[in-house]
Amino acid sequence: MRSARLIEIDWPEFGMAAEPPDWRVSRDEYSRRLARLDELMEAAGLTHIAVYGDREHFGNLAWLAGFDPRFEEAVLLKQRGEKALLLAGNECMGYVPASPTVAGELIRVERFQDFSLPDQPRGDSRALEAILREERIDAHSKVGIAGWKEYSTPQQIDAPSYLVDALRFAAGWENVVNAAGRILELRRQATVEEIAFFEWTNTLASEGMKRVIRAIRPGALDHELLEDARYCGVPLGCHMTLKCGGNRVSLASARGERVARGGRFSCGICYWGANCCRCGWVVEGPEELPAEARGYVEEFAGPYFEAMGAWFGALRIGATGGGLEEAIHSRLPWEKFHVFLNAGHLIHLEEWLGAPRVLESGMVMQADVIPSHPEFYSSRMEDGYVLADAALQTEMKSRFPALLARCEARRAFMRNTLGLPVHDEVLPLSGLCGIVPPFLLRPGTVFALS
């Protein structure tokens, strides 16, 4: 097993797309997705499916219909073999023209004012029971509801109770089941257009993170540091996070704390398809660390980097999620590193899509392995990577040649400078790929494998 060491480098500049790539999904592609939904329903014995979405849990709706609700909830109600119906509230009715499936007349649209915000106009839409009746939902129906996630039983459903209750009243309690997992299975692989967009959002996030880290100085205000992220209006995947000074609350946003020399620091910048996170100590070297953390590099952050080297060795098409777990947990014992979640996960429009069972071409993986320790704190190498076989890379080269060239340059840097064993089918999307500076006041000092 190769061991971690510290090297001095100038952070590489891989460039980025000059403007956002055109990642609009075609009408034909949406038509194929809706047809796959019909196939899913037939395989599951469903006559209908209700795909629920809201401001946070929008991914399934956006993938199927090109529509992410603003302010309100929405539902795509589909009878197998028939044109789907999108139910939207008052404010979303002004936003539905943004959906290619609406513009292309692939789906129908109806105002449903129970989805509208409190104290907005009501009374100009049909009752939900009447809508369900017209969509032929009755005692002979089997209805799947796709909220956000699966639970221990199919009767546990994360959608508003009035929606679930109305469906159960119409079809019978036992005939309404959770179908979220089946939708997620359809979404595990990204199109080449989505990959191009995710590479752009990864570079936005990682270039912003570079500027934030380079701006770290004792006494700096957390809000001032995040100004260097240069948010440009791309939809966020989650709130930006930044912890420093006395703020040690996990996932916390900036709150007016100041950077303290010798203290902890973490930051996360997340857009659709991208989440870049780094953490470390606000020091120039180990002599400035708290006494109990002086062994941070040798005893904690170095072994973490070595384990991530094993993780990249396991990250390839045909591997399993269990193999990624083994690469991490066989090297980072729980008693010391407390890696609690999973060893990397799929990312798409939302920050966390799910964990892969078998890795396939087109999957976008988040290197989200989070160690923690009461004295050593943590270390992080969180960026996005796409798995791409020869056919997908050929398509990328034809459609987005500069994108593929940037990914190849990042992969070469990870191999040749950092010593990370990145396979040919793995394309790094972030400009900080593999870069882990333990001493944030010396960001050019980074880990590499010898």
**Spatial contact of 61 and 76, defined as CB atoms under 8 Å apart:** yes
Q: Output the CA angle 353-383-16, nearest 5 degrees.
A: 110
**CA dist., res. 400 & res. 20, Å (int):** 12
pLDDT tens-place values along the chain, 450 residues long: 789 999 999 999 999 999 999 888 999 999 999 999 999 999 999 999 999 999 999 999 999 999 999 999 999 999 999 999 999 999 999 999 999 999 999 999 999 999 999 999 999 999 999 999 999 999 999 999 999 999 999 999 999 999 999 999 999 999 999 999 999 999 999 999 999 999 999 999 999 999 999 999 999 999 999 999 999 999 999 999 999 999 988 889 999 999 999 999 999 999 999 999 999 999 999 999 999 999 999 999 999 999 999 999 999 999 999 999 999 999 999 999 999 988 999 999 999 999 999 999 999 999 999 999 999 999 999 999 999 999 999 999 999 999 999 999 999 999 999 999 999 999 999 999 999 999 999 999 999 999
CATH superfamily of the domain spanning 4-20+191-449: Creatinase/methionine aminopeptidase superfamily (3.90.230.10)
What confidence score (pLDDT) does residue 85 get?
Answer: 98
**Spatial contact of 142 and 179, defined as CB atoms under 8 Å apart:** no
**Which CATH number among 3.40.50.300, 3.40.350.10, 1.10.4160.10, 2.130.10.30 corresponds to the domain 27-186?**
3.40.350.10
Q: Report the DSSP pairing between strands 143-146 and 176-178.
A: parallel
Q: Report the DSSP pairing between strands 108-111 and 143-146.
A: unpaired
Q: Report the DSSP pairing between strands 241-243 and 85-88.
A: unpaired
What confidence score (pLDDT) does residue 185 get?
Answer: 92
Q: Output the CA angle 108-114-119, nearest 5 degrees.
A: 130
**Spatial contact of 250 and 258, defined as CB atoms under 8 Å apart:** no
**CA dist., res. 163 & res. 158, Å (int):** 10
**Spatial contact of 157 and 147, defined as CB atoms under 8 Å apart:** yes
What confidence score (pLDDT) does residue 24 get?
Answer: 87
**Spatial contact of 210 and 432, defined as CB atoms under 8 Å apart:** yes
Structural domain boundaries of the chain?
4-20+191-449, 27-186
What confidence score (pLDDT) does residue 72 get?
Answer: 96
pTM: 0.96
**Spatial contact of 160 and 73, defined as CB atoms under 8 Å apart:** yes
4-20+191-449 and 27-186 agree in CATH topology: no
**CA dist., res. 288 & res. 171, Å (int):** 66
Closest CA to 253 of 264, 244, 243: 243
- Two tokens, residue 301: 């952050």
Residues 6+ apart with CB under 8 A from 85: 76, 77, 78, 107, 108, 109, 110, 131, 135
Say whether 405 sits in a helix, a strand or coil.
Answer: helix
Partner residues linked to 449 by β-bridges: 4
Q: In degrees rounded to 5, what are phi and psi of residue 267?
A: -150, 140
